[in-house]
Every structure is written in C-alpha cells, then in structure tokens.
Amino acid sequence: MKLLLTGATGKLGTKIAECLLTKVPAESLAVSVRDPKKAEWLRAKGVDVRHGDFDHPETLDTAFAGVDRLLIISADGDNETRIRQHTAAVAAAQRAKVGFIAYTSVVNARESILPLALPHRATEEAIQKTGIPYAILRNNWYLENEIGNILAVKAGRPWVTATGKGRVGWALRQDYAEAAATVLAEEGHENTIYELSGNLMTVDELASAVGDLIGIDVEVQHLDEDEYAAMMKNTGVPESALPFLLELQRGIREGALDVESNDFEKLLGRPVTPTKEALRQILNDLEKTGN
C-alpha cells in the first residue's frame, strides 16, 4: 500500500507527515513537493520524495504513479489559481488510477458564505465526479492563525476584531494533522465528509482564555468594517490583503465558522485539545522563540 501526501513541506503538511510516520512504515509513504530539497529530512527517514508541481500537471503524473491512497492539501493562492491547481491534481489522480483521495477543505464548504470556500467547493465536486472513493476533511480555523493577536495582547495592546459575537471552531494545527493522517493511513473513511471543528468560542471568550493564562485582563476592541480596515492599514497590512481580511471578519460575524461537530473525536479517538491547553502550548512555543 503506497500513501502519498502533497504539500508535505508546508505548515500543515509537515505535521501530517510526522503523524504518518508514527502510523505507517516510511517506505510505504511518498510525498509530492515543488522543491524536493525542502523535504530532505523526510528522505533521510526513508520516505519516497517526489517532485510534483500543481502548476505543471505533467509532474503530477510521475508523482502520483503507483499511489493507492492520496491526500491533497489545499494550495495557497487566489481562488482562480487554487481551482486550477486543485483541478489539475484531481485529474492527475484519476489518470494515475489512485484508489482513494482525501482533501483538506473548509468547514461547511457547500453552503459557506466565505469567498475562500469557492475553490474548496469546486475541488470537492471535481473529486466526487471522478467516482474515486474519497474523504473530505472540512477544516475550521487554525488556532495558530491568532498568534498575531496573542502577541499583541502580550504586548499590552487590545485584541482588535470586527467579528462581533460570531463563533469559531478553533483547533490546533496538530489536531487537524492527526485527523488527516488517520484518514490517509486507515481504511473505512470512503465517501465520507468530516466537519472538523473545535470548541466553539467568540473572540471575547478566546481573548479571555488568553488573559487567564498570561495573567492580564485583555481588552477586546470591537470595530465596524471601515474602522477595522483603517486599523489594519495603519498596522502595515497591504491594501491588497484587506478584502480577504474583511470577508473573513464578516463571515465569522455572520456564522460561517459556527459549525458544531464531534467528527474530530471520531478521527482522533479523543476529544479535540481543550482550548486552554491548546493556548498554553502556543504560549510555551512563543516563549521558546523569545516572543
């Protein structure tokens, strides 16, 4: 049985690869990466490192050859780029006669109002049209995405948001990685969609949990979208990035990430890491790096 993971040198991919190496022999694992030099640590462990570039589909034909089970990690980029790249990867998987495809999507992809859900929706549909058995991992939000806000409050600044009372299912990247590794390495996940959400919280509740751990009262500054955009520009956020940030804030405010599910527990065999424990891990990692 040959397993293959794309994007194995990214933040999520690296953690998935590490998890897979605790579940399967290294010689049964392959990775497809744009720059094989960045995956030398995996090659040193006996993993089959292959060159595969979503922008060059011909490389994927070689990368996916002989693969039984494939995990496609969603790529970075604008929606048009991601749809093109993901569709190319799915087509290559079909040409290679891959027996199973897993894909990291976004929570509630079919109905989501978030513009970032568009490429995920398109990719899910492309996978399902192949007729290949599949598992869709609809990830909520990484808790690590809030490190900028955590550093701000550690420095005595307010937590700035335009999300109102919207709730988010934050979870550690490690939990998402373990869930993905389980689906790729184990049978029994065919034609299944998993909604992977952590414990639902508002920004106020998350900020309060951070404050409890570092021993301060965290001020949460609720802004409207115009105020939020002005604040982000003042902190140096490029104007080109503002539409995405505003869409995300609006989406959270309107419930796009408010999805309750126990699918994490099904895949992990345990509850998702409790929020305070997860935050403690992040704070400890920040301390180690001098932040």
**51, 59 in Cβ contact below 8 A?**
yes
CA–CA separation, 200 and 222 (whole Å) = 19
Instruction: Work out the average pLDDT over 46-54.
Output: 97
Q: Percent of the chain having pLDDT more than 70?
A: 100
- CA distances (Å), origin 142, targets 18, 22, 69, 214, 225: 18, 22, 25, 20, 22
- ∠ at Cα 175 (188, 249), nearest 5°? 115
Rounded to an integer, the average pLDDT of 202-226 is 96
Answer yes or no: is pLDDT of 235 > 90. no
pLDDT of residue 269: 96
* Rounded distance between C-alpha atoms, residue 139 and residue 162, angstroms: 22
Residue-level pLDDT at 55: 95
- Percent of all residues in the chain with a pLDDT value above 90, rounded to a whole number: 96
**Domain boundaries, given as residue ranges, for the chain:** 3-140+171-196+260-269
**CA 13/CA 205 separation, integer angstroms:** 29
The pLDDT score that the predictor gives to residue 290 is 84
Quote the pLDDT of residue 189. Answer: 97
Tell me how far apart the alpha carbons of residues 145 and 225 are, in angstroms, rounded to a whole number: 20
Confidence of residue 36 (pLDDT cuts 50, 70, 90): very high
Q: What is the pLDDT of residue 125?
A: 98
Q: Rounded to an integer, what distance in angstroms lies between the CA atom of residue 146 and that of residue 77?
A: 20
Round the average pLDDT of the chain to a whole number and report it. Answer: 96
Q: How many residues does the chain have?
A: 291
Q: Which residue has the tokens 């065999």?
A: 269
Residue 124 has pLDDT above 90, yes or no: yes
pLDDT of residue 291: 82
Strands (E), 35-141: 48-51, 69-72, 100-106, 134-139
Mean pLDDT of 212-226: 95
Joined together, the tokens standing for residue 212 give 């409890």
Give the position of tokens 């796009």: 256
What confidence tens digit (pLDDT) does each residue in 51-106 have? 999 999 999 999 999 999 999 999 999 999 999 999 999 999 999 999 999 999 99
201-202 vs 167-168, strand pairing mode: antiparallel
pLDDT score recorded for residue 216: 94
pLDDT band of 180, cuts 50, 70, 90? very high
Topology adopted by domain 3-140+171-196+260-269: Rossmann fold (3.40.50)
Residue 217, C-beta contacts closer than 8 angstroms, at least 6 positions apart: 211
> What are 250-289's pLDDT values in tens digits?
999 999 999 999 999 999 999 999 999 999 999 999 998 8
The one-letter amino acid code at 85 reads Q
Residue 118: count of CB within 10 angstroms of its CB: 16
State the burial class of residue 62 (Cβ atoms within 10 Å of its Cβ: 0-12, 13-18, 19+). middle
